[in-house]
Structure 1
Amino acid sequence: MATPPEAGPAALRFAAAASWQVVRGRCVEHFPRVLEFLRSLRIAAPGLVRYRHHERLCMGLKAKVVVELIQQGRPWAQVLNALHHHFPESGPVVRDPKATKQDLRKVLEAQETFCQEVKQLAEAPVDLVSRVQELEQEYGEPFLDAMEKLFFEYLCQLEKALPALQTQQLQDVVSWMQPGVSIATSSVLSQYAVDMGWPLPECSVNDSELLGLPHGPPETVIIPS
């Protein structure tokens, strides 16, 4: 699907807003789409945040996806497939020349520790109920709050790097992604606009619901790549 002409920064802002909606709404099943966005963003603008910041955020989102499968009681084969997909044995691919040896070591150690923990649980699920409860605490709301903060800091750096907001370009993207919706009533943009301090007409998500405008859940939103 092609993006609207000359809508690069606007499309990127919409993708950021959609990703923010997913993370803020704790929609773990859509975290892989956020990871795709972060990978693309890292390739396009590697200097927005430090290597360890990026990796800590990505690893946290990946780990939560795997832990969520365990909490849902999914088959261990599915859990391990997700683990191998998000944490390949080849290790993280480093494209940041500013990443220090200490950065690489800490990231690799954290990934190895998590993977070993999940594999041990799969091979010998002794006291599974109590261990799952421990995972719920370790990767619960405080953990997600920390991931949200890391992501917010990332998005703030992105906003600083982008050119000034062009309302019409943003409206073109919204019309393309959510036909019949304006930037003032878009459920995707509403909270993001407030958090980023955009000078847009005030209209909350509840306003759009009362007006009968489209207000789909996060799963209906396509995050542009």
Structure 2
Amino acid sequence: MSLADDVGWTWSPEETKALISVWSNEQILLKMEQTYRNKHVYSEISERLKDLGVKRTWKQCQNKMKALKWRYRETLRNPSSSRPCPFFSELHEFLAAMPDMPESKETDDEEDNSRPLPLLSLRLLVPPLRLVSAALWQVVQRRDTMDYGLVEEFVTTVLEITPDLMSYREKVQLIMGLRAQLVLELCRSDHSADPETIQPHLSRMRTCIITHREKEIDTEVEASESNFLELVQTLLDDPLEREHFFQEVFPEEFGPVYDTALQTLMWEFLSRLEKLLPTPTFQQTASWLRPAPSMLNECAQSVTQPQPLKTLLQHHRCHGHLFAND
């Protein structure tokens, strides 16, 4: 069972060549050289691909381009690699002249690229659940693998209460995908590569399969878990095989393609959760409050310190989000 394939990641060689031909267009390259590039650039690439008979979303284009750049750079650094980039010559014609822009500079939407707001100020503006969702998204986006356990626990808690938020395959792919990356990261280190450390994580993966299992057993899911357990056991038992795996196999099977597929699933999960729990208006919120003598004091405690509120309002004023009444 391929995590990447299940979220529509697979590209045929012909589709990849079409993407490269659009990507190498002078107008597209000019936009990609800008300090901040966003959803609109990838949307344009998606539209141009449609003219060539290739139907891909802007997000799929963005993910594929990231994966191609990664393979290109790896081949550039290690030309004798056993897994060279299959489209290296085509990519080299235009990527060699492009600045090496860090991925952190790319934005999916027209985001506010100013300095981050202090957490105390953000807590005044953003509902707690959305703030947690944003923090979880950053963890997955930055690939902070050691924090994937916390992400998986949040996802599991939400899906236990709202099982219809995702399909069975999506649930298992997301939960097992997060936990699998954490397990492999633990296996990478001699200090943490031991059964006592690894077993609790494998047990959570088994629990996930059982908890979300539908009426009929999904043989692909069962086989995927069995293969992963066998892999982990090999990594724990054989140091030489472990070294070979992380040098040669891991970058290909659990590298950028896997990461971006996992990001896509996480994006879907958080987007659906956001739609499920939209931010209420103050009128709606007022109707839910139970009148009580201490209610105002309790609600106002979060703004008793004036500086976070001042910082928030100044931030919005500087970016044109505050308007005077006519």
Q: TM-score, normalised by structure 2?
A: 0.45
Match of 1:62 among 164, 169, 179: 179
- Whichever of the two has the greater Rg, that structure is 2
Q: In structure 2, do the counterparts of structure 1 residues 89 and 112 end up closer, same or farther at CA, with 3 Å as the change threshold? A: farther
Contact 1:71 1:136 in 2 (8 A): no
1:127-181 deviations in whole A, cap 9, x for unaligned? 4422221123321222111100011011111122113455898xx8xx69xx965
RMSD: 3.3
Structure 1 residue aligned with 2:255: 140
Structure 2 residue aligned with 1:22: 139
1:92 aligns with 2:207: yes
Aligned residues: 170
Contact 2:165 2:272 in 1 (8 A): yes
Higher relative contact order (CA 8 A, sep 6+): 1
Q: 1:4-153 to 2 correspondence within 5 Å?
A: 10-77=127-194, 80-88=195-203, 91-93=206-208, 94-96=210-212, 99-103=214-218, 105-133=219-247, 134-153=249-268
Q: In structure 2, do the counterparts of structure 1 residues 164 and 113 end up closer, same or farther at CA, with 3 Å as the change threshold? A: same
Contact 1:91 1:108 in 2 (8 A): no
Structure 1 residue aligned with 2:5: none
Stretches of 4+ moved more than 4 A in 1?
Answer: 165-169, 179-182, 201-204
Secondary structure, aligned partner of 2:163: coil
Contact 1:10 1:166 in 2 (8 A): no
Q: TM-score, normalised by structure 1?
A: 0.63
Give the percent of matched residue pairs that are identical in Structure 1 and Structure 2. 28
1:155 aligns with 2:155: no
CA distance in structure 1 between the partners assigned to 2:130 and 2:280 by the alignment: 9
Contact 1:87 1:111 in 2 (8 A): no
Residue type of the alignment partner of 2:178: L
Tell me which protein shows more helix as a share of its residues. 2
CA distance in structure 2 between the partners assigned to 1:135 and 1:89 by the alignment: 22
Any gaps of 5 or more consecutive residues in structure 2?
1-125, 286-298, 320-326
Contact 1:23 1:148 in 2 (8 A): yes
Any gaps of 5 or more consecutive residues in structure 1?
1-8, 186-200, 205-225
CA distance in structure 2 between the partners assigned to 1:83 and 1:126 by the alignment: 19
How far off its partner does 1:81 sit? 3.1
1:29-57 deviations in whole A, cap 9, x for unaligned? 11111011111101221111111101101
1:75-103 deviations in whole A, cap 9, x for unaligned? 432xx334311212993353447x24243
